[in-house]
Amino acid sequence: MAKIEPKDGKHKLGDSRDTDLEGIDDKKYDVVTDDEKLAAARRDFPGYNWFASYTITDKQGNVVRDMPEYTIKSDKPDAEGFQLYYYLDQAANPLSYDTEDHGGKKRVKAKLRLGDPPLGSVP
């Protein structure tokens, strides 16, 4: 697990979809990458494209499961039928999103209140 230092109000996860987390109070919470949960999502749902996994902790290091709403932004593939998912309790759960244009790139924008889900998509 690697701690992600916020910059300009964003936690940049550095994954293949250039995922950013916005709206997380860095005075209360830390964000760390989580390869173990990402591997579990990939194992349990191999037909999905799991691209990012993180855990949000309080400053004492405790995992925060429920928290104030924050925003996830990531690159959107051009594939038809694209659906965004989060992985929680060994289940792939659909996540509604909006699409925005950012410098000629399509980005998905979703809201979440969970502190530790891997993110993925189909296709």
pLDDT in tens, 53-92: 999 999 999 999 899 999 999 999 988 899 999 999 999 9
Structural domain span for residue 56 = 3-122
| Rounded Cα distance, 47 and 69, in Å | 28
> Between vectors from CA 16 to CA 14 and to CA 20, what angle results, nearest 5°?
45
**Residues 111/69, Cβ–Cβ less than 8 Å:** yes
| Rounded Cα distance, 47 and 44, in Å | 9
Contacts of 77 (CB under 8 A, 6+ apart): 121, 123
Question: What confidence score (pLDDT) does residue 96 get?
Answer: 96
- pLDDT higher than threshold 90 for residue 104: no
Question: Residue 26 carries which DSSP code?
Answer: T
**Residues 71/24, Cβ–Cβ less than 8 Å:** no
Name the maximum alpha-carbon separation found in the chain.
43
State the pTM of this model: 0.92
Name the domain count of the chain: 1
Question: What confidence score (pLDDT) does residue 88 get?
Answer: 92
- pLDDT higher than threshold 90 for residue 1: no
Coil/strand/helix, residue 120? strand
* Matching residue, tokens 């992985």: 87
pLDDT band at 121; cut points 50, 70, 90: very high
